[in-house]
Amino acid sequence: MDPLLRVDNLQTEFRLPEKTVRAVNGVTFEVGRGEIVGIVGESGSGKSVTARSIVGLEEPGEIVGGTVTFDGTELTEADRTTKRRIRGSGISMLFQDPGASLNPVLTVGEQILEAATLTHDGPAKSLPAAFGFQSFRRRPLWSDARNEAIGLLERVGIADAERRIDDYPHEFSGGMRQRVMLAVALAANPTLLLADEPTTALDTTTQAQLLDLLADLSEIEEMSIVLISHDLGVVSEICDRVVVLYGGEVMESGPTERVLNNPRHPYTHGLLRCRIDANHSGTKLPTIDGTVPDRFDSRGCPFASRCSYATTECNTTEPPVTTVESTHHVKCSELDSVPDLDAHPTGSNEDQGFDSGTKSLVNDDSVTDPVVRFENVSKEYETNQSVLESVLSGREQLTAVNDVSFVVRPGETLGIVGESGSGKSTIAELMTGLSGLTSGTIRLNGQPVGIAEDRSHDQLNDVGMVFQDARSSCNPRLRVRELVAEPLIEAGWAQSEQWDRVREVLEWVELGPEHADRRPHQLSGGQLQRVALARAMALEPELVVLDEPVSGLDVSIQATVCNLLLELQEQSGQSFVIISHDLKVVSHLADRILVTYLGEIVERGAAESLRDSPAHPYTAALFDAVPTIDGTSGFEPLEGAVPSPIDRPDGCSFHTRCPMVESKCQTESPDWQQVKGTQSRCHFAESVAGEASPDVDGLGNDVDE
């Protein structure tokens, strides 16, 4: 049988005023019916442009060669109407940022309906009807469509769909919005779904749920899926075949198992090796040097400039495509000199790693003065209510952080992990003084501190902060040197000393002085994150708070930033607080970890103990949700989302989603249980951790009044 989609030697160019960039350069692959194909590569490797070229949305780019055959129809030569109809019925798309790809001023129902009714009414729909003005004659049809939209929302796992269909996109959480987008995509009953980084903007737990949903759809509906991602882990969870893209060319393609276990191309090696879960925590991650270059001509191998096996020939002649095994193809001319990859190179790179002794735990005894101490800290927000409502039904409180106590010790890296809505970012805001607490005490070097305005100069200089989105936290009008100098100016440094310092700090984060005069838009995401880090470190604060420092970065860049963080922390001896939804990232970087859920700490302990034997079902679920390439994808994704902090569940706050919930959990709030090296707030902590081991040394203990 013919494949559903055949992309053959596709070439797409962008004509810029000064040069022509070839984004897709001879991509060839097939997608069979009901098959899931993963396209993997770093940003700039041409994945998205390939997907958009398939459906004719490559503008402002231009397809200059090759063919795209979908279900027997050749699409690159097709007229606009044909392309549009294919988009409306045959091929649907799912985009990376569900917040941006839904129209903010239309209800989600309307956006599903318009995709659904397209197929019902055919192309000859009148304009008023398209705008939602329905004549009475057509009412029954309209309510059918509405019911169908409700059905779609239910199918993608949105609870209470009948009521939520009239909500606007901003009333949904990120994960829910991506489900809505999926409902929109499914409305047209597509045979092929192009999913462009659909989970990159989501929590690991939500990502796991969505991947699960996609796999189900493919299986039940026989829908074909093209899943685009920078992360081989994501792709390996559900894909039948993998296509590795670089510089707009297919570097390697084959069945997922083969490519992951027996990769032949140096680029695939690189992508696999730099994954955090393939490495020991605290060790230096292998990286792929350099970044994806823009291609202006098609001579030679695009990866040659970053490849350690490259010869001069690689730069000048197009590498041949070798068929390693029936369906496993590799495009490389030095195949013989590329060694087999040890699929799980754990330990193999310790020679280049850091001394693992530096990650040993600071014992409680040696904690004399913690840098930061949270004592029973709570943070509540008032919800938006009218005067009348609050008189009638009492004031509504939203508890973002609920009675939290912990310390940050000198020179340690503390990880705080949890899903969105778990209160971890609020803890960062409280620590840095960006928002004020409702009750409790925060001590910085023993002194109680309030919000940033009330802190002394020295106290402000002691805390640095790196925000999640480097691009929006750097003023686009300032140059790098001005950005990094900002805290220096605030601290009253003399102008002459500022520049020397800026150069020094940029050196710490491995940026050269040539970067100092650039502006944010001239830097890549990874470079900009370094600038943000340099700014936070400029005054050598005792404490650096990093909110999601590597999420949103490509896997390869994640690896370099992680290495940098480990190195900086080791050299400077500062305390780092690293906040992330990704437990793998946190456990790689941190000495100790706090797991937060609904504003409470549910488990805490040494990173190693937590990883080896998590004693709280939530921690275990967070670990499970991280996509891995070692074939252990029999995960049960955590159901649902974090409940509303206005209406907190009684008893254990996690009981509504806990896989091992019992009646006791619904009424009794669990107390701290010491299990092995961690402390967990779960009634069944010991059985979660595997076996009971009551009195181990007090690793990871801290304030526990």
Partner 1 sequence: MNLGNYLLYRLSTALTVLFGASALSFGLVFLTPGDPAETILDQREDTHPTPEAVEAFREAEGLNDPIPIQYVDWVVGISNGDLGESYYSSQSVTTLLVEHAPTTIELALASMVVALCIAVPAGIVSAVHRGDRIDIGSQLAALIGVSMPNFWLGYLLIIVFSLYLGLFPVSGSGSLSQLVLPAVTLGSGMAAIITRLVRTAMLDELESEYVTAARAKGLRERLVLYKHVLRNALIPVITIVGLQFGFVLNGALVVEVVFQRPGLGMLLVDSIFARNYPVVQGIVLLTAVIFVVTNLLVDLSYYRLDPRIRLGGTNS
Q: List residues binding partner 1 (CB under 8 A).
A: 52, 55, 57, 84-89, 92-93, 95, 97, 100-106, 114-115, 118, 127, 130-131, 168, 170, 181, 184, 188, 381, 383-389
Residue closer to partner 1 (CB basis): 214 or 274: 214
**∠513-514-515 over CA atoms, to 5°?**
85
Residue closer to partner 1 (CB basis): 32 or 88: 88
Minimum distance from CB of 162 to partner 1 (Å)? 19
Minimum distance from CB of 87 to partner 1 (Å)? 4
Minimum distance from CB of 686 to partner 1 (Å)? 40
Look up residue 537 and give its two tokens.
């470190």
Minimum distance from CB of 56 to partner 1 (Å)? 9
Residue closer to partner 1 (CB basis): 115 or 566: 115
Minimum distance from CB of 171 to partner 1 (Å)? 8
Residue closer to partner 1 (CB basis): 106 or 478: 106
Minimum distance from CB of 52 to partner 1 (Å)? 8
List Cα–Cα distances, 701 to 265, 358, 372, 377, in angstroms. 46, 19, 15, 18
Residue closer to partner 1 (CB basis): 114 or 554: 114
User: What is the rounded (10 degree) CA torsion for 468, 474, 479, 483?
Assistant: -80
- Pairwise CA distance, residues 654 & 636, whole Å: 16
The single-letter code of the amino acid at 96 is Q
Other CB atoms within 10 Å distance of the CB of residue 72? 8
Matching residue, tokens 């190195």 = 567
Q: Region of 313 please: left (phi>0), alpha (psi -120 to 50) or beta.
A: alpha
Q: For CA atoms 646, 652, 656, 659, give the dihedral sign.
A: positive
Peptide bond into 293 cis (omega under 30): no
Among 65, 72, 391, 45, residue whose Cα is nearest residue 243: 45
The single-letter code of the amino acid at 639 is E
Look up residue 231 and give its two tokens.
């992360």
Phi, psi of 631 (to 5 degrees): 80, 10
Spatial contact of 523 and 515, defined as CB atoms under 8 Å apart: yes
Minimum distance from CB of 434 to partner 1 (Å)? 16
Minimum distance from CB of 233 to partner 1 (Å)? 25
Residue closer to partner 1 (CB basis): 87 or 146: 87
Cβ within 8 Å of residue 147, ≥6 positions away? none
Among 372, 370, 382, 373, residue whose Cα is nearest residue 438: 382
Residue closer to partner 1 (CB basis): 127 or 494: 127
Q: Give the HSE-up count for residue 8: Cα atoms under 13 Å, Cβ half-sphere.
A: 11
Residue closer to partner 1 (CB basis): 131 or 296: 131
Minimum distance from CB of 148 to partner 1 (Å)? 15
Residue closer to partner 1 (CB basis): 16 or 491: 16
Look up residue 190 and give its two tokens.
């597509």
Residue closer to partner 1 (CB basis): 118 or 338: 118
- Pairwise CA distance, residues 615 & 694, whole Å: 13
Minimum distance from CB of 127 to partner 1 (Å)? 7
